[in-house]
Chain A
Amino acid sequence: MMLQIAVCMKQVPALNEGKMDEGMGTLIRKDIPPVINVYDLTALETALRLKEEYGGKVTVFSMGPESAESLLREAFAMGADRSVLLTGPEFAGADAVATAYALSQAITARGPFDLILCGRQTTDGDTAQVGGAIAQFMEIPSIYWVSRIHAVTPASCTVTALTAKGHASCRIDFPCLLTVERELAVPRIPGLGAKIAAKKRQPEILTLQELPDRDSSHYGRPGSGTRVIKIFSPREPAPAAAVSMKGKEAAAYILEWLDEQTEGGIR
């Protein structure tokens, strides 16, 4: 079996301090060191383990500025066979949907692939929408929040995924897309020799002109349907006073408190 696996990865700020550029509606990433999105590392580790067990090739895709090449070299050091950087001014300011569309175009341009793996979300935008949207654009089935991959055949794989109420085991036919949970696999750390060797490898650069859809209005900020108005942290609730009482006194107190909270509704 020779699985062709694509992995989508992104470089994110190491810390999400929630500062935004109000004009652009995007996160301010300057001055914060970049790291590979931790969920994407799990996706890559999963791909590498599948390749080691079943044979195949792993191609990593990322969209971003040229500085994202360091991410792709790290992927080489971990064991990726190929890496593709989708870059160009047309892709700047993309929301989750425009990002997914661009990645789906890149994967199509370099495909076909049996399996596309994404992390469950990124730690900057936190939308958890890109994986599903890629599958939608490519018109392939997808399963989110995969926590285990049980069996792989040339035509399908069987996985366990988290659901709102627990877990579900499903079989899904190739080609398909899975978004993976961090518990699926702890990412390996490259060896020093592999890291030095990876420094000499160049990721493939992919631009708008090489995509099936070359209409720039479908990408980046023009292709984005959403605008971020404000980024803020939820207000922390004020600390509640601790009271200590017993029996009926406590019951009466709780009843009165609930009544206050529901404006008399509890009675």
Chain B
Amino acid sequence: MKIYQMEEKYRQFIGDESRLTGYCDSLSFPETEDEAAEILAHMAASKTPVTLQGGLTGVTGGAVPQGGHVMNLSRMTKVLHYEKTKDGALLTVEPGATVLDLKKEIRGLAGKNRLFWPVWPTAETASAGGIAANNSRGICSYHYGDARANIASVRFLAADGRRKTVSAREERELFGQIVGGEGAGGVITALELTLIPRPESLWAICFFLKTENAAARFVEGARRIAQAHREAAAFVAALEYLDGPVLVLIKANRASMAKLRDLPELPADPAGAVYMELHGPEDGVEELAGELLELSADCGCTDEDTWALSGEAEAERLQHFRGAASELVNARIDEIKRTDPAITKLTADMTFPGEPFTDTLTRYRKSAAIVDIPCYIYGHAGTGSLYANLMPENAEKYEAGKQLLRSWARECQARGGTTAGEYGVGKLTKNLLDGLLPEAKREIFETLTAEWDPAGILRKKLTTHP
């Protein structure tokens, strides 16, 4: 068992993409489940709190320690098992495998059978364990669903030392708690990923709209088209939105950001962009694309306001365009933090059920304008799960931004929505939305802790209060 005392060279392990920085007394980097079990037992004996880490790509500070011990799982990257099934294959991997690792492994193992795993978050260094712990979705979740829908089972090492393989089918409730449980109760030490056949054809398309109103109309129309083709052979896999301020960031950083260098100049001054992926047989995809082309023309797009690429490798250029949004918004926060380190990210990761896209967008845009705080919006337009990022430029605006975020959360709760979605609760959201977080999440944290973590070393809470 190797446990290292905290020192300067481990500084990278006390922060993540939330831009929060914490502190810890010791760290470990287990390479096997046995080693992780030994470390957990050691920490449980001394009731030392443990923070679990994967790829450190989380944006709500879930991996940021507040004292105690950091268990970083990035060295558990082995592929444990691969098995063909009637419909595809099952691939069992350790939790430290990153999105990049997984893509390479799947290509090597399942390439001939043209299989893939449809849960790809935009951060390529995100780890499989982190994806499961947060129940991440990725840009194609509109059709393929979240991590829960695409994992067959997980191997769970409880904080009290018990080990258990939990099947999605046979132990639905416990599986649903662990996947999305943000590391409460124990460590996911292996994941059985459900690989499915790749679509015969894949088109990635960007529509650049001249006004936000036109963009909202396009999204509404695209949702209707997507719904009509939901059960068809060719379907909409991704329906994502990037607003005007995000596009300005992309324009400004296009030449300097490696993943954007292959993109041409964006059309002049778009107020919003919609990224879509169409999957299915080539003819069906083409027909679906034709419907979207007509819709885009009705919303004021010319052909110069669209980009279309086909094939999974070519489509990556546009996936990078969509993926750049979160990186650039985080970089903007870094700039602001340089002038006032107390300012943190203020992101609404909320879903207002059944609400028209126009209304969600208008709420964020208008109320941010009233308090005069720049707001960068992007996210899953298909399901209405948008991320509204407030960028307060000083302490006064930061306070106003926090209040605005809480007012959105209250409205979201009143409408029966979810106030913490894909990004999880972490330390940041828990702090910002104390008292306004989903009750279901609290129940999951408490159930997992009560059942599997009597010493409370992996305890998660929804409140900053003791």
Contact = CB atoms under 8 A, between A and B. Distances in A.
Contact of A192 (B107, B296, B311): B296
Contacts of A199: 286
B302 to A, nearest CB: 8
Contacts of B261: 186
B205 interface: yes
B313 A14 contact: yes
Contacts of A15: 107, 313
A38 B261 CA distance: 12
Interface in B288-313: 289-290, 292-293, 296, 302-313
Nearest to B312: A33
A88 interface: no
Contacts of B307: 189-192
Nearest to A73: B310
A33 B311 CA distance: 8
A192 B203 CA distance: 10
Interface in A1-45: 14-15, 30-36, 38
Given A14-B313, A186-B261, A186-B262, A193 B293 contact: yes
A191 B306 contact: yes
B312 A193 contact: no
A82 interface: no
Contacts of A155: none
Contact of B308 (A32, A187, A192): A192
A196 B263 contact: no
Nearest to B296: A192
Given A189-B308, A189-B309, A35 B314 contact: yes
Given A191-B303, A192-B293, A34 B313 contact: yes
B311 A34 contact: yes
Nearest to B262: A186
B331 to A, nearest CB: 22
**Could you say which of B111, B293, B314 has the most chain A C-beta atoms within 10 Å of its C-beta?**
B314
Contacts of B264: 186-189
Nearest to A199: B286
Contacts of B262: 38, 186-187
Contacts of B303: 191-194
Interface string B297-337: 00000111111111111100110000000000000000000
Contacts of B304: 191
Contacts of A187: 262, 264
Interface residues of A, number: 25
A30 B107 CA distance: 11
Contacts of A218: none
B313 A196 contact: no
B265 to A, nearest CB: 8
Interface in A143-157: none
Interface in B239-266: 261-265
Contacts of B305: 191
**Could you say which of B262, B289, B305, B308 has the most chain A C-beta atoms within 10 Å of its C-beta?**
B308
B112 interface: yes
Contacts of B318: 189
A14 B112 CA distance: 15
Interface string A156-198: 0000000000000000000000000000001111111111100
Contacts of B112: 30-31
| Dominant secondary structure at the B interface | mixed
A186 B263 contact: yes
A186 to B, nearest CB: 5
B211 to A, nearest CB: 19
A94 B461 CA distance: 65
Contacts of B306: 191-193
Interface in A38-70: 38, 70
Contacts of A38: 262
Contacts of B206: 189
**Could you say which of B207, B296, B309, B312 has the most chain A C-beta atoms within 10 Å of its C-beta?**
B309
A194 B309 CA distance: 11
A199 B293 CA distance: 15
B308 A195 contact: yes
Nearest to A13: B313
**Could you say which of A30, A31, A36, A38 has the most chain B C-beta atoms within 10 Å of its C-beta?**
A31
A192 B313 CA distance: 18
B286 A196 contact: yes
Contacts of A31: 107, 111-112
Interface in A207-262: none
B34 to A, nearest CB: 28
Contacts of B310: 70, 74, 195
A189 B313 contact: no
A189 B289 contact: no
A189 B293 contact: no
A190 B310 CA distance: 10
Interface in B107-131: 107, 111-112
Nearest to A36: B314
A171 B309 CA distance: 36
Nearest to A35: B313
B308 A191 contact: yes
Nearest to A45: B264
Nearest to B202: A33
Contacts of B205: 192
**Could you say which of A15, A33, A77, A196 has the most chain B C-beta atoms within 10 Å of its C-beta?**
A33
Contacts of A14: 312-313
A226 B290 CA distance: 47
B355 to A, nearest CB: 28
A77 B311 CA distance: 14
Contacts of A191: 302-308
Contact of B289 (A34, A35, A36, A196): A196
A30 B311 CA distance: 15
9 contacts: A15-B313, A33-B313, A34-B313, A186-B265, A187-B262, A189-B309, A191-B305, A194-B308, A199-B286
Given A31-B112, A191-B307, A192-B306, 13 more contacts: A30-B112, A31-B107, A31-B111, A34-B311, A34-B313, A74-B310, A189-B206, A189-B264, A189-B308, A190-B309, A192-B293, A195-B308, A196-B289
